[in-house]
Amino acid sequence: MSEIAALFFGATIIVFFSYERFNRASYDAGSRLERLITMLSPDKLRARRVVLQAWCLYTTALLLIYVLSCAYVEVLPEIDRTQLAGASNLPDSSDESKQSGSIGIPPGVSLGVALILVGLAPSVPILKRFENWLRQTAHRLAGIPTRVLSNSEELRTNAIDLKVEGDEKLLIPSGYWERREHYKKATSDQLTAPSDFANDIDLIFAVTAWLIDRRLKLSNVDMREKFQLLEDELRNRKDVMILELDERTNFVLGGAVSTQTSSGPATADETATEELKRRSWERVASDVNNLADDLCVLLALYVEHGFIQIDPVDQVEPRSKGIARAVPTTAVRQSARQQDLARARLLGFVWPILGDGLNKIQPSNTTPALFWSTILIFIVTLVWSYWPGLYEMELRWMGVPSTGYQRAGDYLVVAFNGFMIPMLIAVALRDAGLQSKTWINIWRAPHWTASLPQILMMLALAWFSAIFIVIAINFWNVAITQNQGFDRNGSFDVVRTAFEADALFILRGSIFAVLVVLLLDGISAQLPSLQKQKTWRSSLLWASRVAVIMGALGFCARTIRSIVAARVAEPPRPGLDAIDFGLIFYSTVYSALIGFVVVFFLSEVLLNQRQGKRYSLIPNITKPAE
């Protein structure tokens, strides 16, 4: 019991310290984030839900390494006893495992491995590199920082619209409007690209007035405090920029002092002075461009965290409880109109990542795919182990009785290795490709050869990862549970036995994972077979097809395994017997059942989720702006 308690205590230590290490920047900031990197930790670069998912993935990987390390500290001396000179007088490493309730992992080993992973990893180069790679992988899967950078780059391709009529100010101070016109006139003949400079000035004045000065009402105001440091930094840089531009252009609030221009041909000294002046203006324009870039990063962060939404709260609720039932005054109506106009301009600018971007950047559906696949495989496996598994287990063990808990444990381990691990690998690879914009939708590929490499890569990595874990479990089981030491030939026998017994079944699970990825891409591509008015018909069609494929895979895998088992039996059997045919039947039905249930319910969830989002956006998208 103390071994189990120590194992869980070590796992608790790792979980407790994992978030602080996960929240360290593991990416190359580059020129886009180097000015803001000290103020943007990874948990600020994506929505809280996405960050928690990435942290769970990172922590799960650490816990898996922790458990394997604890197990193999005891296994390694057993793998090749003949090579351990001087260790013949040591006690058998599995003596403690003979005790009742022992798991073969001493408490000191569990706590020692946990402390090594938590305390020594940053100081050991190889552990530090591995932990950095693991953290970077989790960040990339979550789109940190690629999502915000890609959205900010999308915004930089647009120009904000500040055209007004009459006395409209769009919540922008009058001084900004005066500076805006004066700067344009003063820089028209000083810059290589004066129009780009003017667009940057418009963006800076509008965003700082609306967001940083908080003149425009946004959503989730209580969560904006964690960006206060970033807002203060951008405000200070904006103030410094205004001071420099005012000095260079001789701007005076309330009346601009025009700069004097020389007449007549320019001398050599004047030409050199003008060239230096132009270079100086180009440097200022570069600083203005950098500030505009950083403000686009701020906008992308606000969209990511839900501060800027398509359906703002103040469009469906009274703007103030005190005037909800009163007749609004002219000032109140004018203020409300300026709020609506400014919000319309802001939404129009961020629309590529907020509105139309919904059609270009399809949701990956990674989280619901993994969640529902895991839950459904778990439920189907438990139900199968309770009734059909009872008879299948009797056939497998020649009539030896088994308890329900034993069957459930055996079936869940097999399902985890054969279905869940390949599913995790395949869906994670797709999500990483979507985040990095390298994924080719299988149904939208210009030719089947374009998507074939990524399908084969998914299949190979999913199969290899799962078979590696199965072989590792077999090593641990032989060395600890059976108290058996073996040499290198014995190690090869363990690998061969695990490969021959489970390779085909894991290939079945890997193909199933690819089929689920096909479903996810099909939903993103809006295939006609997934566009039926009643979603259950589309789900039933896909689930039936997958069930047939999975049934055939289960049939082939069990048949090949039975044929191999008959040939290597002592004495060899001439062919398959009734027990083999029974096991083939159960394997076929179980595989088909897994495929049908998972695909049907997953398709229903994703199709109804997509339709719900589409219908919720229609009123806001089609509603004309005032």
Tell me the residue length of the chain: 626
Q: How far apart are CA 590 and CA 396, in angstroms?
A: 15
pLDDT value at 541 more than 70: yes
- Rounded CA separation 97/159 (Å): 70
Q: Which two tokens stand for residue 190?
A: 């000083």
Give mean pLDDT, residues 37-54.
84
Tokens for 571? Answer: 């004495």
Binning pLDDT at 50, 70 and 90, where does residue 511 land? very high
Q: Report the pLDDT averaged over residues 597-619.
A: 72
pLDDT of residue 512: 98
Residue 268 has pLDDT above 60, yes or no: no
Contact 282, 192 (CB under 8 A): yes
- The dihedral region occupied by 101, where left means phi > 0, alpha psi between -120 and 50, and beta the remainder, is left
* pLDDT average, residue stretch 354-381: 77
Average pLDDT value for the chain? 81
| pLDDT of amino acid 239 | 95
Which residues, 6 or more positions from 267, have their beta carbon under 8 angstroms from its beta carbon? none
Question: Does pTM top 0.75 for this prediction?
Answer: no
Whether residue 136 has pLDDT greater than 90: no
pLDDT of residue 598: 97
Write out pLDDT tens, residues 379-429.
Answer: 999 999 998 998 999 888 887 788 888 899 889 989 999 999 999 999 988
Q: Given this model, what pLDDT does residue 306 score? A: 86
The least confident of 10-14, 492-496, 500-504 is 492-496
Domain ranges of the chain: 1-144, 152-359
Give the model's confidence band at 60: pLDDT under 50 very low, under 70 low, under 90 confident, else very high.
confident
The rounded distance, in Å, linking the Cα atoms of 300 and 294 is 10
Residue 344: Cβ within 10 Å count: 14
**Of the given ranges (128-137, 263-272, 385-394), which has the lowest mean pLDDT?**
263-272
Q: Which of 309-323, 330-344, 365-379, 573-587 has the lowest mean pLDDT?
A: 309-323
Q: Is the dihedral of CA 191, 194, 196, 197 positive or negative?
A: positive
Q: Which two tokens stand for residue 545?
A: 């097809």
Of 51-55, 165-169, 421-425, the least confident: 165-169
The Cα 362–Cα 367 span in angstroms is 14
Q: Tell me, rounded to whole angstroms, the distance of Cα 499 from its chain centroid.
A: 32
